[in-house]
Structure 1
Amino acid sequence: MGNRLFKEPPPPPPVVLVPPLFDFPPLAARSRMLESSYNLLFGKLALKCLFEDYFEDARHFSTRVMFKPIDDPHVDLVATVSGPLDHKPEEQIVGNALFRWQSDVDDPHTFMDLFVSNSDPILQVRSCAYYPRFGFGAFGTFPLLLAKSRASSEDYGVMGLRYGSGNLSMGATLMPFAVTDELPRTAWLVSKMGRLTAGLQYEPLYGKEDNAKYKNLQNWSCAIGYGGGFGSPLSPSFNFNLELAKSSQFIASFYQHVVVQRRVKNPLEENEVVGITNYIDFGFELQTRVDEAQTSKNNSESTFQVAASWQANKNFLLKGKIGPLSSSIALAFKSWWKPSFTFNISATRDRLTGSNSCGFGIRIEHLRGASYQRADPNYLMLTPNKEHLAEGMAWKTGKRPMLQSNVNAGNFDGLPKELRPFEKIL
C-alpha cells in the first residue's frame, strides 16, 4: 500500500549543455560607439576577430590582464604587454593600460576611458555619451601627451556626432583643434532593410586642397551586405558582403556562425546530460585592386584568406587560417575560474621562407562571468529521437532550461549576459 501512495519521482529529462562563448561580446564591441558604423558592420568586426584573435605574431608573446573591482562594477582596467621572444634592438616591449568608467553596468555605450602607454600616444582620453531613447550620441578621442611633435591632424583630437536606430546609422567626425580646412574628417550612412544592408562612407584623403575633395571618387567607399540570424549567438547566422573601397579596391567577404549539438558521454556530468552545444565559425575574404595602374605596380595588394574556428566546449578553442603567404593554427585553453585564465599558442608557416615559428599569449580576466546552461534537447537537436519528447520545464533543479520557444519570443532572462543579443542598434 505504501509503495502505491508514495511513488518515486520521475527521472529528470535529458538536457544539453550550452557553454558560453570564449569572448562575447568581444572587447572591440565595447568601444564601437567611437567608430564609424561602416567600419564595424558588413561582417568586419566578426572577420577581424576570426582572423586575428589568438593568432600571435611569429616569435612574439602577448599578455593581457582585465580586472573589475568587486565593490565598484562601473570601472575596470585592461593592461597588456607584448613584444618579441628574442631580444631585438629594433623592437621594444610595448606596455599599455586602459582605465574605463562606464555609467551603466549593462550598457557599454556611455563611458570614458584613460589610456596610457610607453609608445605614442603616451596619454589619451576617450569619451562617449549615447542616449538610446533618442538615438543620438557624441564622442571624442583626445591625445594629451605624445612622444613626438603633433605631426598629423588626428594628433589634435577627433570629435563626432552620430544617430543610430535598428535600421539606420549616420554620423560624422571632425578635428576641431587641427589647423586644417577638412570638414568633415569622415561621414557615413548605413541603412538596413530586412536582410539587406547598404552603406556609404566619405573620407577626404585624396585630392588637392583647392579642389572639392567630395568630387574625388577615391574618397568614397560603398558596401552592400546580405545576411540574417544575428539575434543571439545561440542562433546560426551568416553574412555575405561586397565592398568597393576608395574606388580602387574590391573586397568580397563571407562569414558564418554555426550552432550545432553533438552527443557526449561525460562521466563528470549528470546522467541526464546527453549532448553539448558547439560553435563553428567560418570566414573568407578576398581583396583585389581594380585600378590597372596600381595593380601593375604592386601585385601583392591582391590577396585572400580563409579561416575557421571550432569551440568544442567552454574550455577549448581551435582555429586555423590559410593565405597565399602563410598559414597559421591556434589552440586556446580557458579556465572559468574567478578570475578566468586563458592560454593560447599559435604556429605559423611562412611560405616564402619555408620557416616555422610559434607565438603564445596569456590572458587573465575578471570582467565576465559565465557558466554552463542546461537546454531542452528540442533546442537545435539535429537527429530526431525519443529524447525530443522530454518536457524540459519539468526539471526545476539547478538552472532553468532554455527552450527554443523562449529564444523565438525574445525571452533571454535564463541566459547569461554574454549569450544575450545585442541592443537594437545598427
Structure 2
Amino acid sequence: MGNILVKLWKLMDNEPPPPMVLIPPLFDFPPLAARERMLQSSYDVLFGKLALKCLFEDYFEVEKNFSTRIMLKPIDDPNVDLVATVSGPLDHKPQENMVMNALFRWQRDVDDPNTFMDLFVSNSEPILRMRSCAYYPKYGFGAFGVLPFLMKERTSTEDLGVVGLRYGSANLSIGTTVMPFSNEFPKSAWLVSRMGRLTTGVQYSPNVGSEDGTNFYDLRNLSCAIAYGLGSTSPLSPSFNFALELARSSQMIASFYQHVVVQRRVQNPFEANGIVGITNYIDFGFELKTRIDGGETSSDVKESTFQVGASWQANKNFLLKAKLGPLSSSIALAFKSWWKPAFTFSVSAVRDRLGRTGFGFGIRIEDLRQASYQRADPNYVMLTPNKEHLAEGILKKIGTRPMLQSNVDSGNFERLPRELRPIEKIL
C-alpha cells in the first residue's frame, strides 16, 4: 500500500523535488562527560571548560598506545547502559600495563541524564566504586555521592567517600561537597551566576592535607572566573565563549572556544541530484596559562604554556582534529560508520620538538544513540523533508511544520532530534 501511495504521489506531482542540504549528526553529542556534570562543581564545567576538554583530548590517543571503548544499551531497557574500556601500550607484552574498566549505569529518564546511579569496576584504583545523583528540575535542588567500596590502599580521607548538595537554575548554580569522615569542611564550594551573556563564578577548593589546612581567608584556596558567551549548546547554533580565570591567586588562564556551522557543496557522487549541499561543523579553541605569583616553581610547572586546537567534521563519517602546544603537535583522524551498533576507528600522530613521531589507535563501538542525516533546503530551512519522504508517511505527517532557522535562533528546539538539541538549560 505504501508503494502505491508513493507512485500515485509522484504521478500527481509534476514539480521536481526541492533542493536539499544534508545536516549530519555530531560524532559525540552530548559527550560522555556531560552525563557526569551533576557530580562536579559547575565552576569546573562552565566557562568553556567542558568544550575545550573534548576538543583537546577526544580522539588524541597516547603515543604508542591503543584504546578500545564499547558502549552498549539493551533494546528492552533503554534506561541502562554499559561502557567498557581497555587501553594499554603497543608492545609485545601489553598485558602488564593494560587498564580495564567497566561502568554500568542506570538513569531515571532517557532524556534526563541528571538523575542516575552507576557502578564502576576496574583493575586499577578504585577497584569498585558507586556513584549516585538525584536532581529535581522543578525545585532546582540536587544531591549526589561518590563511595569507593574497594581500594588497595586508602591514602586520603577522600577515598572514604564524598557527598554534595547543589542548587541549579537557568541563571544560578550554588553547591558544596563534603567528606563525611573528615574534619576538614568543606571539600569544595562554588557559586556561579549568569547575567545575559556574562557568566561569573567563584570556587573555594582547599589543598586537602596541606600544612595550611582549611582556611577560608587563604586566597590560594580561591579561584574566580568570568566569561562572555553567545549561542546555545545545540550543534546547529554557532557559538563562542571567551573566559578569564584567576586560579588559586597564582595562575591566570585565558581561553577561547568557538563552534562554527557552515555549508558547502556536496562532493559525493552517491548522493541524489537534489542534494546540493552539506552542513559542516568547525570548532576552534585556545588556552593560555601564565603564572603571576612570582614564586618559585617546580620543574613540572611552567611559567607560561598554551595550546591551540581545531576540529572539522566534514560529514557524518569523517572527523579531522589537530592541536599545537609548546612541546608537541598532534593530529587525529576518525572514521565513524552509523551501523547498528556504530563503529568508530581513530588514529592520531604526535610529533615532539625533537622530531620524534609516535602513533596511537582507538576503536569505539557505540549503541547509545540513533542519529541519522536530516534534510534542509539551501536557505538553511531545517528539517524540511523532500516530496518522497512526505509521500511515504503522508498519513502520519499531515499538519507537521518544518523547523525553520528562525525557530533555532529563537531557541525553539522541540522539533529537533534529541542529539541536535542543547544539552540542558541548567547552569
User: Normalization by structure 2: what TM-score?
Assistant: 0.91
Partner of residue 238, structure 2: 236
Q: Name which of 6, 11, 14 aligns with 1:9.
A: 14
Structure 1 position 410, deviation (Å): 3.7
Looking at structure 2, the residues matched to 392 and 347 of structure 1 have their Cα atoms a distance apart, in angstroms, of: 40
Partner of residue 367, structure 1: 368
Looking at structure 1, the residues matched to 131 and 301 of structure 2 have their Cα atoms a distance apart, in angstroms, of: 38
Aligned with 1:99: secondary structure? strand
The letter of the residue matching 1:377 is P
Does the CA-based 8 Å contact 1:200-1:221 persist in structure 2? Answer: yes
Structure 1 position 397, deviation (Å): 2.1
Are positions 1:300 and 2:314 aligned together? no
Residues 41-98 of structure 1, C-alpha deviation per residue, up to 9 Å, x if partnerless? 0000000000000000010000000000000111000000001001479961000100
Partner of residue 283, structure 2: 281
Looking at structure 2, the residues matched to 193 and 418 of structure 1 have their Cα atoms a distance apart, in angstroms, of: 27
Partner of residue 357, structure 2: 356
Does the CA-based 8 Å contact 2:184-2:214 persist in structure 1? Answer: no
Q: Which runs of 5+ in 1 are unaligned?
A: 1-5, 382-390
Aligned with 1:292: secondary structure? coil
Task: Report 1:328-339 matches (<5 A).
Answer: 328-339=330-341
Aligned with 1:378: secondary structure? coil
Partner of residue 398, structure 2: none
Looking at structure 1, the residues matched to 212 and 320 of structure 2 have their Cα atoms a distance apart, in angstroms, of: 53
Structure 1 position 298, deviation (Å): 6.3
Aligned with 2:74: secondary structure? coil
The letter of the residue matching 1:182 is E
The letter of the residue matching 2:69 is R
Q: 1:215 to 1:7 in 2, by over 3 A?
A: closer
Looking at structure 1, the residues matched to 138 and 174 of structure 2 have their Cα atoms a distance apart, in angstroms, of: 16
Looking at structure 2, the residues matched to 7 and 234 of structure 1 have their Cα atoms a distance apart, in angstroms, of: 35
Q: 1:104 to 1:34 in 2, by over 3 A?
A: same
Q: Name which of 155, 158, 162 aligns with 1:154.
A: 158
Does the CA-based 8 Å contact 1:16-1:277 persist in structure 2? Answer: yes
The letter of the residue matching 1:397 is H
Looking at structure 1, the residues matched to 46 and 100 of structure 2 have their Cα atoms a distance apart, in angstroms, of: 30
Q: Tell me the percent identity.
A: 72
The letter of the residue matching 1:314 is K
Structure 1 position 285, deviation (Å): 0.4
Partner of residue 143, structure 2: 138
Does the CA-based 8 Å contact 1:260-1:380 persist in structure 2? Answer: no
Q: Name which of 62, 66, 75 aligns with 1:61.
A: 66
Aligned with 2:389: secondary structure? coil
Looking at structure 1, the residues matched to 386 and 123 of structure 2 have their Cα atoms a distance apart, in angstroms, of: 57
Q: 1:113 to 1:230 in 2, by over 3 A?
A: same
Does the CA-based 8 Å contact 2:259-2:283 persist in structure 1? Answer: yes
Partner of residue 403, structure 1: 404
Q: 1:297 to 1:409 in 2, by over 3 A?
A: closer
Structure 1 position 331, deviation (Å): 0.2
Aligned length: 408
Partner of residue 388, structure 1: none
Partner of residue 3, structure 1: none
State the Cα RMSD in Å.
2.3
Residues 24-52 of structure 1, C-alpha deviation per residue, up to 9 Å, x if partnerless? 00000001100000000000000000000
Are positions 1:95 and 2:97 aligned together? no
Structure 1 position 294, deviation (Å): 2.7
Does the CA-based 8 Å contact 2:88-2:94 persist in structure 1? Answer: no
The letter of the residue matching 2:420 is L
Partner of residue 386, structure 1: none
Does the CA-based 8 Å contact 1:375-1:401 persist in structure 2? Answer: no
Are positions 1:124 and 2:129 aligned together? yes
Partner of residue 254, structure 1: 256
Partner of residue 173, structure 2: 169
Are positions 1:21 and 2:26 aligned together? yes
Partner of residue 205, structure 1: 207
Does the CA-based 8 Å contact 1:329-1:348 persist in structure 2? Answer: yes
Does the CA-based 8 Å contact 1:206-1:213 persist in structure 2? Answer: no
Partner of residue 397, structure 2: none
Q: 1:7 to 1:131 in 2, by over 3 A?
A: closer
Looking at structure 2, the residues matched to 153 and 414 of structure 1 have their Cα atoms a distance apart, in angstroms, of: 48
Looking at structure 2, the residues matched to 250 and 47 of structure 1 have their Cα atoms a distance apart, in angstroms, of: 17
Q: 1:271 to 1:73 in 2, by over 3 A?
A: same
Partner of residue 186, structure 2: 184
Looking at structure 2, the residues matched to 230 and 413 of structure 1 have their Cα atoms a distance apart, in angstroms, of: 14
Partner of residue 6, structure 2: none
Q: Name which of 58, 74, 79 aligns with 1:74.
A: 79
Looking at structure 2, the residues matched to 294 and 88 of structure 1 have their Cα atoms a distance apart, in angstroms, of: 41
Aligned with 1:33: secondary structure? helix
Q: 1:298 to 1:112 in 2, by over 3 A?
A: closer
Does the CA-based 8 Å contact 1:289-1:295 persist in structure 2? Answer: no
Looking at structure 2, the residues matched to 205 and 66 of structure 1 have their Cα atoms a distance apart, in angstroms, of: 35
Residues 112-157 of structure 1, C-alpha deviation per residue, up to 9 Å, x if partnerless? 0000000010000000000000000000000000022x11111000
The letter of the residue matching 2:265 is R
Q: Name which of 89, 105, 120 aligns with 2:110.
A: 105
Q: Which runs of 5+ in 2 are unaligned?
A: 1-10, 394-400
User: Normalization by structure 1: what TM-score?
Assistant: 0.91
Looking at structure 1, the residues matched to 126 and 214 of structure 2 have their Cα atoms a distance apart, in angstroms, of: 32
